[in-house]
Structure formats: C-alpha cells, structure tokens
Chain A
C-alpha cells in the first residue's frame, strides 16, 4: 500500500512532479558540467607530469608547475644518479616559444621534450610520426591542429628561427592555456628552446624496485638541497593547486563550480522541501489515522529518492551532448564516468537530506490539527 501511495502521490499532480524533476535535472546538469570543467582543468594542469614514467621530479626551487619551467644544470643528473635507491635518471625540456605558422602568423606554444625512457604516455614524434628521422620532427594535439592554420600533415613551421616539421598528431594533450603543446625529441626541444645542452628544465628519476619514494626523496634532498624534489604525485598536486588556487583562471573556475554546486543544492533542497510541504496536511491525516513516524519518514524519503533518481538521470542525459558541443571551444573538457557517479550520489543524498529536513515538520506535525477546520 505504501508503494501505491508513494507512486500515486508523486504522479498525482503531474505538473508539480515535472517541475520538481526539472529542477533536479537542471541541478544535476549544472553540477555535472561544472564538475567536469573543474576536473578537466585540474587534470590538464598536471597532464604531462602524470603521463611521464617517473617516480620523482627534480627542479629549481619554486617552480610551481610543469608549464613554468626554469633552467638548471644538466650535471645534477649525475649527482642524482649516485643516490641510493635511484635506478635511472632522465631529462625533460619544457618552455614557451613563439612558433611561426605556415601562413607566417605567430603562435605561442609550449615545447616539450622528454628522454625516451621516461616519456611514458607523453607523445614523441618517433612514436607517432610518419617521417621518422627528419630533423626536429614534432607532434601536436589534434584539437590544436587548427591553431596552426594547417591540417594536412606534414607541414613546416619555424621556432626561434629554426625549422621544424609537424609530422603527427596525438590526442589527449590539448592545451588549456591557449598555448598548444608541441612534442619533440629531448634534444630537438632544447634546440628549439635555444637552451644550451648543459642545461635542462627537469630531472626525472626512476627508483630501484622496493625503494620507498619517501626514502629516495629524502636521500635526494640531502644530496641536492638547493633543488625542489617532489614525488610525481606531489608535483602533480602542486601543479593543480597552483593553477586552481593561484591563477585567476583556476580561481574563476573554482568559484563557478562552487556557485554551480550551491545553486544546484539550493534548487534541490527547495524543490524537495516544497514538495514535502505540499503534502503536509496529508501527513497529519496519516498520523491521525495511525501512521507511525517511520511510515511518514519512509514515504517522504521514498518520494525524494525517486524524484532525485529520475531528475538526476534526465540531467545526466543532457551532459554528454553539451560537453561534446563545448569541446569546440574548450578543447580540454572531458566527461569522465567518475563525475556522474560522484554527482549522482551527492544529488540523491541531497534529495534525501532535503527530505529529512522537510520531513521534520511532517514528523512533528500535531495529528490533533485534523480536528481543526
């Protein structure tokens, strides 16, 4: 009987049900898209760090993220190599450069070069390209190809008065700063950045199996006190925090996500509260007729759960097409399954929380009021 009452109460006033579901759908949509933006932004902020095959990163003090690299002596590599627990040491070059496109226009880019053994998932021309062996081959993300004004591979560009050839495109490394990544071999990257061979930007370390990262980090720090030494996870977190909390772009995004969450929360709470209060007299009647507090609670919670479930599902259905459409402008936006899970769980919990708040008057309602006209 309760199931009948629950469904019939929900569907009795279809317009009201539609409004409640629409409110929750909008909230689900808003929160999910904002969460996707935030997630994608932070993920983009540390994408190169996470993709490298290394356990520890060494860099000049104060470097906040991969993008703002600073030069350091290449000789540090040898110093690091002798530290207990270190298996191998590699070099990473990174830096901004001005690239001249085939049409003569200039485009700021971030040149990235990682020694092959440490590249991990970071693209390199020799992995992907069609014209292996060509001097200064480079790879760009497919979403950034249009920025170069040329879509047919290969094509020649110029960086710091040096020629390079874009020979391949990759995916998953689109720029979030408006400066496309241009992946080159390590030596080519140094060359394009006009950095002398005795300098590098980062030194990456692989550990011997069984070595604790923290131990190796302490050993490296003792040997190289004038450098910042971070585990990959720490450096990744540091980069995300920098972009999210110390830049206007990240701050704006975080604020927008927070506001989106609060608006969504307010809509869901208000919707569920109003929906419960709509039936307050019926709850009084049920209590007078002998419904227990548990009965009333289950009824309200059940209605809220169903509203939340239907609304969230509909809201989620609108997210993938929106993200796909947004990708033409925000190339780095993703819609990971994880955000659906997290946002879905949060929203249904919110609906239940709103119902718990709303059910309080229903639970406290004095059944004796049924005798007052």
Chain B
C-alpha cells in the first residue's frame, strides 16, 4: 500500500478559551493519497476550513500531529513550514485571491517565485496557463477576466510549482453552475495527471461526482466517509 502523501493524527484545535472555548477540530485522524480527490463536506462551522488550515501548514494543531510524505511536521519551525507551503502545497481559494495588479501570467509566475526556484516545476507558467486554457488571456489582469477565468488562473498558480498537495476552499462557490463544474473537472484532471493529493472543502453537492472520497464533518469530527465507486 503506498504511503499517504499527507496525514493528520489525533488533531484537535480549539478557538477561544474558558467558557468561550469552541472546539473546531476534535481528535481527527485521516490520510490523503496522491492523485486522489477528497471532498470535505459539512455545514458551516463543522471544521472544514480549520482542517484545510492544518493541512496547509497555515496553523498548528493544539494537539495531534501532521505528516507530509512521512515527515512529522509537528516540530518544524515556522520558517520551515513557510518553505513547505511555498514548495509543496498549492492553494485554491473561494474568491480566487489573485494579485490585482499582476496579469494572469505574472500571477502564475508568482507561485513559482515564492517557491524560490527550489521546486522541480513540471510546468512553466505559460504551460500552466495553457493547461487551464488561458493562453490567449495571459496578459489580462484579474479585473479583466471572468470569475471562471480567474479561478483557472488560481488553479494554474497552485499547480505550476508541482505541489504534493492541493487544498481548495469552496472553489466553485463564487462561480455559476456550469463554470463551477468546468473548474471541478479541470482540477480533477490535473491532479490525477500529476498525482497530487487534493482536498476540496465544499458545500456544493454537484461536486460529489468529482470526488474519489467524500468525508462528512460535523462539530469538528469526521462523521462519515464514502468512497466513489466510479
């Protein structure tokens, strides 16, 4: 059995303290394999975003550990976690979070630049834009692109550095229905091709067909898990 790309073990996160304390994650353990698309589903406040933050090394768990390609990241310094984020983890956000002043090609190049040239990129920024079908629009700024095109640029930015893990937070929520499905299809095709462990937090039931695995969260816990039969 192949080693999982990323895993969490007995992870707990609590926001606030005392009477105001609220458990965002409660003793969660799971693994994510390369090339597999996992959908994290659940109501708002169920812990999806917090789990993405933990997987993305954007915050540390209060308890438990996280491991990437067999390396326990619990004791990594902040500086090292920044390096891991820049080289090994790709992000796609609900509202794209592109840099407004940069054009599409520059936004994608930024993903590589932040990795400091220490990544073995499989794609050049132009190739990444080609892969998401935006070759002709590479010189346009985000405000000159449609929502779907912006999200494609964000996908290209995430994938250009050939990450081990892709984390997407509601990637279709700001898009119309057909564009959302196109983005989901694009993500699935690219992560399968590049064997990237992918975790998508979503409320959108239309994405279910695109997941290899669906995890349902409630009150900070993984309450159900289902594998696609497709």
Interface residues of chain A, those whose CB is within 8 Å of chain B, are 1-2, 4-5, 8-9, 11-12, 281-282, 285-292, 295, 366-368, 370-373
Contact = CB atoms under 8 A, between A and B. Distances in A.
Interface string B76-118: 0001001101110101011101011110001001110111000
A292 B82 contact: yes
Given A1-B110, A295-B114, A368-B53, A289 B91 contact: yes
Contact of B58 (A1, A8, A9, A367): A367
26 contacts: A1-B106, A4-B102, A8-B101, A8-B102, A8-B106, A11-B101, A12-B101, A285-B93, A285-B99, A288-B58, A288-B85, A288-B97, A289-B85, A289-B86, A290-B83, A292-B79, A295-B114, A366-B59, A368-B53, A370-B93, A370-B97, A371-B93, A371-B201, A372-B49, A373-B95, A373-B173
Given A288-B91, A368-B58, A371-B58, A5 B85 contact: no
A76 B110 CA distance: 81
Contacts of A373: 94-95, 170, 173
Nearest to A295: B114
A337 B101 CA distance: 38
B52 interface: yes
B56 interface: yes
A286 B169 contact: no
Contacts of B115: 290
Contacts of B106: 1, 4-5, 8
Interface residues on B, range: 20 to 34
A12 B143 CA distance: 11
Given A286-B114, A289-B111, A295-B114, A370 B102 contact: no
A371 B100 contact: no
A285 B101 CA distance: 14
Nearest to B90: A289
A9 B106 CA distance: 12
Contacts of B86: 289-291
Contacts of A366: 58-59
A367 B56 CA distance: 10
A159 B95 CA distance: 84
Contacts of A371: 49, 52-53, 56, 58, 93, 169, 201
A5 B98 CA distance: 12
A296 to B, nearest CB: 11
B85 A282 contact: no
B58 A12 contact: no
A5 B101 contact: yes
Contact of B99 (A11, A282, A288, A295): A282
A288 B52 CA distance: 12
Contact of B113 (A1, A370, A372): A1
Sort A-B residue pairs by CB-CB distance and give the 5 closest, nearest first.
Answer: A290-B86, A12-B101, A1-B113, A8-B101, A368-B58
Contact of A5 (B52, B94, B102, B169): B102
Given A5-B106, A288-B58, A367-B85, 10 more contacts: A1-B113, A5-B99, A5-B101, A282-B99, A286-B114, A289-B110, A290-B114, A368-B58, A371-B52, A371-B58
Given A2-B113, A368-B53, A370-B58, A290 B102 contact: no
Given A290-B83, A292-B82, A370 B91 contact: yes
Nearest to B96: A285
A291 B79 CA distance: 10
A281 B101 CA distance: 13
Contacts of A292: 79, 82
Contact of A291 (B58, B95, B114): B114
Count chain B CB atoms within 10 A of each CB in A286, A288, A371, A372 and give the residue with the most. A371
A2 B109 CA distance: 11
A371 B114 CA distance: 19
Contact of B100 (A1, A282, A289): A282
A288 B157 CA distance: 13
Contact of A9 (B89, B101, B169): B101
A85 to B, nearest CB: 65
A373 B95 CA distance: 7
B173 to A, nearest CB: 8
A372 B58 CA distance: 12
Contact of B109 (A1, A291, A295): A1
Contacts of A286: 99, 114
Contacts of B157: 289
Interface string B31-68: 00000000000000000010011001011000000000
A287 to B, nearest CB: 8
A368 B56 CA distance: 9
Contacts of B102: 4-5, 8
A369 to B, nearest CB: 9
Contact of A12 (B53, B100, B111): B100
B87 A290 contact: yes
A272 B110 CA distance: 24
Interface string B192-230: 000000000100000000000000000000000000000
A288 B49 contact: no
A5 B79 CA distance: 22
A20 to B, nearest CB: 15
Nearest to B100: A12
